[in-house]
């Protein structure tokens, strides 16, 4: 896939990028590079990393391991995000949701974004290898490579299944967190891997429904661009059910207490009910912004955060009950 700009505006912006970036102050540069890292995305990834470390340790994980994992995990995610912005700078300019990203606004030069991403990738991999373990380093590097080469370069602009399989990169933190504590892998993190895997499509598609015109203008074939509301929301229902069911599978597999099981059941029910409500509204003829898909998007954010809070707290409850 050729990384070419799609409009005269895009070409002129790239050409003027270094000059525009050069006019910014040091503080502006720092803010631009932080924004290039997509901090909100990193927060979501860390939400799934920390709890798994508690489960792996059977309580509070070693402080040094936890701090190193969070530091190098943040660097790893920032690396992937920065290189994603470098590759997608042409379509970022075409979308209202992304046109204010540093690469799209030329607050960071394309070369600067690429170098920044590569330096972070090397630093995070080396940090994991030296201060955590080689398995965590390999998983971190695999996550970066998968996000860049498989999702961003291969799938995103070619198939409506882009976020389904591309979402695997976002599932990797649970494996990294587990391996950082134990030095190996087990069934427990793979179950949580599947929770994030099934959660990602409906979470992303309901957001994409809100910005359908943006993706269409950028020629990105997100499912809401190529399929009608009913088809999209039916798949959201199916993936929501899969998410809820797999979250309950974690209960016996990890041997958690009643606390996790109760939280997973309640949260899963809320997620599934809201998905069904959207589908019912669509079948009743409600469309466009009146569907209020962003309500599901925000609910799904809360779902994942609260579920993994339960994952964190459960080993502490188990310790108190022992």
Give the pLDDT confidence score for residue 251 in this predicted structure: 97
Instruction: Supply the range of the domain harboring residue 134.
Output: 27-182
Q: Are the C-beta atoms of 21 and 109 separated by less than 8 Å? A: yes
User: Is there a single domain that holds both residue 139 and residue 70?
Assistant: yes
Q: Are the C-beta atoms of 269 and 241 separated by less than 8 Å? A: no
Query: Which of 158, 182, 206 is at the close of a domain?
Result: 182
User: Is there a single domain that holds both residue 254 and residue 130?
Assistant: no
Give the pLDDT confidence score for residue 166 in this predicted structure: 94
User: Is there a single domain that holds both residue 224 and residue 276?
Assistant: yes
Instruction: Indicate the SS3 state at residue 184.
Output: coil
Is 17 part of any domain?
no
* DSSP per position, 63-113: HHHHHHHHHHHHHHHHHHHHHHHHHTHHHHTT-TTTTTSTTTTTSS-HHHH
Token pair recorded at residue 263:
């939280």
Is 19 part of any domain?
no
User: What is the chain's pLDDT, residue by residue, as a tens digit (322 residues)?
Assistant: 333 333 333 333 444 444 444 456 778 778 888 888 888 888 888 899 999 999 999 999 999 999 999 999 999 999 999 999 999 999 988 888 888 888 778 788 999 999 999 999 999 999 999 999 999 999 999 999 999 999 999 999 999 999 999 999 999 999 999 999 999 999 999 999 999 999 999 999 999 999 999 999 999 999 999 999 999 999 999 999 999 999 999 999 999 999 999 999 999 999 999 999 999 999 998 887 788 999 999 999 999 999 999 999 999 999 898 7
Q: Are the C-beta atoms of 168 and 190 separated by less than 8 Å? A: no
Q: What angle do CA 176, 182, 187 make, to 5 degrees?
A: 70
Query: Which of 141, 163, 182 is at the close of a domain?
Result: 182
| Main-chain dihedrals φ then ψ at residue 32, nearest 5 degrees | -65, -45
User: Is there a single domain that holds both residue 126 and residue 228?
Assistant: no
Helix, strand counts (H, E) of the chain? 16, 0
What CATH number is given to the structural domain containing 206?
A: 1.20.120
Output the CA–CA distances (angstroms, integers) from residue 78 to 62, 243, 298, in the order listed.
Answer: 24, 27, 23
User: Is there a single domain that holds both residue 123 and residue 206?
Assistant: no
Expressed in angstroms, the distance from the first to the final Cα of the chain is: 56
User: Is there a single domain that holds both residue 195 and residue 148?
Assistant: no
Q: What predicted TM-score, i.e. pTM, was given to this entire model?
A: 0.89
Give the pLDDT confidence score for residue 23 in this predicted structure: 59
Output the CA–CA distances (angstroms, integers) from residue 149 to 152, 186, 200, in the order listed.
Answer: 6, 27, 19
The total number of structural domains in the chain stands at 2
Q: Are the C-beta atoms of 243 and 198 separated by less than 8 Å? A: yes
Is 35 part of any domain?
yes
Token pair recorded at residue 250:
């974690």
Token pair recorded at residue 34:
């932080």
Of the candidates 187, 214, 198, the residue with the CA atom closest to the CA atom of residue 104 = 214
User: Is there a single domain that holds both residue 135 and residue 201?
Assistant: no
**Exposure string over 5-25, b if 16+ CB within 10 A, otherwise e:** beeeebeebbeebeeebeebe
């Amino acid at each position: 896939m050729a990384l070419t700009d799609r409009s005269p505006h895009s070409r002129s912006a790239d050409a003027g990028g270094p000059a525009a970036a050069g006019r910014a102050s040091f503080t502006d540069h720092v803010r631009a590079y932080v924004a290039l890292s997509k901090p909100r995305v990193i927060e979501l990834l860390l939400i799934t990393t920390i709890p798994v470390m508690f489960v792996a340790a059977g309580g509070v994980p070693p402080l040094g391991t936890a701090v190193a994992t969070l530091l190098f995990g943040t660097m790893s995610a920032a690396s992937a995000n920065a290189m994603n912005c470098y590759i997608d700078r042409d379509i970022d300019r075409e979308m209202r949701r992304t046109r204010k990203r540093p690469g799209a606004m030329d607050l960071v030069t394309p070369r600067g974004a690429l170098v920044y991403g590569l330096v972070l990738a090397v630093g995070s991999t080396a940090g994991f290898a030296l201060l955590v373990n080689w398995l965590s380093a390999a998983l971190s590097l695999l996550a970066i490579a998968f996000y860049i080469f498989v999702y961003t370069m291969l799938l995103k602009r070619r198939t409506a299944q882009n976020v389904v399989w591309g979402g695997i990169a976002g599932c990797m933190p649970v494996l990294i967190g587990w391996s950082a504590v134990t030095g190996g892998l087990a069934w427990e993190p793979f179950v949580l891997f599947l929770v994030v895997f099934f959660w990602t499509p409906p979470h992303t598609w309901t957001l994409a429904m809100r910005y359908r015109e943006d993706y269409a203008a950028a020629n990105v074939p997100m499912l809401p661009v190529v399929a009608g509301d009913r088809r999209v929301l039916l798949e959201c229902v199916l993936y929501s059910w899969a998410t809820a069911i797999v979250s309950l599978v974690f209960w016996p597999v990890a041997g958690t207490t009643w606390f996790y099981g109760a939280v997973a059941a309640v949260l899963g029910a809320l997620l599934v009910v809201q998905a069904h409500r959207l589908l019912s509204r669509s079948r009743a003829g409600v469309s466009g912004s009146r569907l209020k898909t962003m309500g599901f998007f925000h609910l799904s954010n809360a779902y994942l955060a609260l579920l993994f809070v339960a994952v964190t707290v459960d080993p502490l409850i188990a310790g108190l009950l022992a």
